[in-house]
């Protein structure tokens, strides 16, 4: 599913998180939103998910050909993975993954057996087939992150949004999970956006990198394009390129 | 003979028994001493004396005090008032905590302060203002009388007074916890397509269940022990509108010390029981949400 964002402005009090941002994401892309903290990348991700609504009347968010500007998170059904996982700590791993399917209105809810089958299939996908009965408190950070992914995927979203997905993990787990996500994306071609402040991570994983600063997009392009011609001194500096290349 | 060779324990090198950041011993001794004396004189000693007075004429007299008709009625009425006021305040408290913790709107600070109002308004004033509002000479008096509803000097008045006085307890315990836990869980549930009721029942409520229990316990204890507001609103009609705390006053003023202290011992036991339950639920709450 493609995502079209036009003229999005978002303020929190007097702080401008996003200033008239426009961006187009093609179907099946794996895109990194890269920037220092407070640059607006997470706010844009939350706006796409419907967890925030844009200010003013000029902004527009479109999923494929559907205008979702004013739709809430519940209607948009974007798969969202939170920075600190936001698992339901009182539910088992299996219950966490099944949550979205069980929350459907009765007419649209799959049968119990069908839900169990989905949960088991996802547990295999995240390589934790025997962890269904565990509680989130008994898992490591990397395992929690994978459960959060499985929970988001269970409702078959058309877009996957990840907020700093590897931020809280140690280096080795981060590398494994990165590789897993790349392989998962290659096999499913699910439109995926992830937020990161680590340029190495963005460059290694993403088809296209969008660089943010001060609530505005500085540059968007493939890693090769960004390396070859950074648009500004900020981009060059943030990507660790020699400033003379500008 | 031992098969496994245990690794030798490293020699203890700690020379100073106190940690680097703790205060000098004499400060600790003085503080602990002051607190023990203070608590002893103000809390423990009175509690012991209540039971001593209640049992002055032996167990038979103590138990005999509870065989009294008016005592039965007072206990029953107290439980009845609490049974109505506590569930209502649980719902109101949840709603208020949710509003204050989750939304920033004009006046939300004032709302948060208003929730605590009953804690620093004298209950007697509460009682009197309710009389002015609902009494036969009051603002709503004629309308209520026209509909045959008696509020003041009757059960509805007692419930209203208790509702007001015990309102803050659930909200006060829940609000900081709801703020601390954030709303990521609720947001996750929303993106998964859950409706507001489902989010509340299966995400929010399980997260705060121990704090909620904690708040309900405090609210119940206060509801059963309330004196000031209820005293004004009840009219002290013996065997009709006297709750247990009011009945204790009546007995005491009539020099019936054994029944008065026997009744007081019930409330004292309630307080001790509350203290134990409160600590258990506080521990459980801390255990359920490790940060």
Question: Which tens digit of pLDDT belongs to each residue from A54-67?
Answer: 998 888 999 988 89
Residue B291 has pLDDT above 80, yes or no: no
Query: Mean pLDDT throughout B207-234?
Result: 91
B187 lies within 8 A of chain A by CB: yes
The confidence score (pLDDT) of residue B18 equals 63
Of residues A84, A90, A99, nearest to B206 (C-beta): A90
Query: Mean pLDDT throughout B82-108?
Result: 89
Of residues B184, B185, B193, nearest to A104 (C-beta): B193
- Contact across the interface for A74 and B184, Cβ inside 8 Å: no
Question: Coil, strand, or helix at residue A81?
Answer: strand
Q: Provide the pLDDT confidence category of residue B17 given band limits of 50, 70 and 90.
A: low
B290 lies within 8 A of chain A by CB: yes
Distance from A103 to chain B by nearest Cα, in Å? Answer: 5
The confidence score (pLDDT) of residue A168 equals 73
Query: Mean pLDDT throughout A136-147?
Result: 93
Of residues B187, B194, B207, nearest to A103 (C-beta): B194
Q: Per CB distance under 8 Å, which residues of A are interface residues toward B?
A: 49-51, 72-74, 76-80, 82, 84, 86-90, 99-100, 103-104, 137, 148, 151-152, 154-155
Residue A245 has pLDDT above 70, yes or no: no
d(CA A165, CA A159): 15
Residues of A in contact with B206 (CB under 8 A): 88, 90
The confidence score (pLDDT) of residue B13 equals 54
pLDDT tens digits, residue range B129-163? 998 888 888 888 888 888 888 888 889 999 999 99
Could you list the beta-strand ranges (E) of B121-203. Answer: none
Residues of B in contact with A72 (CB under 8 A): 190
d(CA A94, CA A116): 8
pLDDT tens digits, residue range B19-56? 777 778 888 899 999 999 999 999 889 889 999 999 99
DSSP secondary structure of A179-225: HHHHHHHHHH--EEEEEES-HHHHHHH-SEEEEEETTEEEEEE-HHH
- Contact across the interface for B187 and A51, Cβ inside 8 Å: yes
Residue A116 has pLDDT above 70, yes or no: yes
| Vertex A81: Cα angle to A148 and A169 (nearest 5) | 75
Of residues A74, A88, A104, nearest to B190 (C-beta): A74
B189 lies within 8 A of chain A by CB: yes
Query: Mean pLDDT throughout B255-281?
Result: 90
Least confidently predicted of B40-49, B77-86, B214-223, B277-286: B277-286
The confidence score (pLDDT) of residue B2 equals 45
The confidence score (pLDDT) of residue B287 equals 66
pLDDT tens digits, residue range A3-12? 999 999 999 9
- CB contacts < 8 A, A to B, total 67
Please tell me the pTM assigned to this model: 0.80
């Amino acid at each position: 599913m493609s995502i079209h964002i036009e003229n999005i402005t978002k303020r929190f009090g007097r702080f401008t998180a996003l200033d008239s941002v426009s961006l187009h994401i093609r179907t099946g892309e794996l895109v990194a939103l890269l920037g220092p903290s407070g640059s607006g990348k997470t706010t844009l991700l939350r706006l796409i998910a419907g967890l925030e609504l844009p200010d003013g009347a000029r902004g527009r968010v479109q999923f494929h050909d559907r205008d979702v500007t004013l739709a809430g998170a519940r209607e948009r059904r974007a798969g969202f993975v939170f920075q600190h996982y936001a698992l339901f700590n009182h539910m088992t791993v299996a219950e966490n993954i099944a949550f979205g399917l069980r929350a459907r209105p009765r007419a649209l809810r799959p049968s119990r057996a069908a839900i169990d089958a989905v949960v088991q299939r996802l547990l295999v996908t995240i390589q934790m087939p025997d962890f269904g009965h565990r509680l989130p408190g008994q898992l490591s950070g990397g395992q929690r992150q994978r459960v959060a992914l499985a929970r988001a995927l269970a409702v078959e979203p058309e877009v996957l949004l990840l907020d700093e997905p590897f931020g809280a993990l140690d280096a080795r787990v981060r590398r494994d999970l990165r590789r897993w996500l790349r392989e998962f994306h290659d096999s499913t071609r699910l439109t995926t956006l992830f937020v990161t402040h680590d340029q190495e991570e963005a460059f290694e994983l993403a088809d296209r990198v969008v660089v943010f600063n001060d609530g505005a997009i500085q540059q968007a392009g493939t890693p090769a394009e960004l390396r070859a011609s950074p648009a500004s001194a900020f981009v060059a500096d943030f990507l660790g390129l020699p400033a003379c290349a500008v | 003979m031992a098969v496994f060779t245990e690794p030798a324990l490293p020699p203890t090198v700690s020379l100073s028994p106190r940690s680097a950041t703790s205060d000098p011993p004499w400060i600790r001794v003085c503080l602990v001493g002051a607190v023990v004396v203070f608590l002893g004189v103000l809390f423990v000693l009175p509690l012991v004396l209540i039971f001593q007075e209640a049992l002055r004429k032996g167990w038979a007299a103590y138990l005999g005090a509870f065989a009294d008709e008016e005592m039965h009625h007072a206990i029953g009425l107290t439980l009845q008032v609490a049974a109505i006021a506590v569930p209502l305040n649980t719902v109101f408290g949840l709603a208020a905590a949710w509003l204050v913790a989750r939304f920033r709107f004009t006046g939300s600070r004032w709302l948060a302060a208003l929730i605590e109002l009953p804690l620093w308004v004298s209950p007697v004033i509460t009682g009197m203002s309710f009389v002015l509002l609902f009494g036969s000479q009051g603002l709503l008096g004629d309308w209520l009388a026209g509909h045959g509803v008696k509020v003041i000097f009757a059960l509805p008045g007692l419930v209203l007074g208790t509702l007001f006085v015990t309102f803050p307890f659930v909200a006060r315990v829940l609000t900081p916890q709801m703020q601390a836990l954030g709303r990521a869980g609720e947001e996750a549930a929303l993106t998964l397509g859950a409706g507001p009721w489902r989010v509340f029942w299966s995400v929010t409520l399980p997260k705060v269940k121990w704090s909620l229990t904690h708040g309900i316990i405090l609210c119940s204890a206060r509801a059963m022990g309330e004196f000031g507001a209820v005293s004004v609103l009840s009219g002290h009609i013996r065997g009709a509108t006297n709750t247990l705390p009011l009945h204790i006053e009546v007995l005491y003023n009539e020099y019936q010390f054994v029944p008065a202290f026997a009744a007081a011992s019930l409330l004292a036991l309630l307080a001790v029981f509350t203290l134990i339950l409160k600590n258990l639920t506080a521990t459980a709450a801390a255990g359920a949400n490790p940060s």
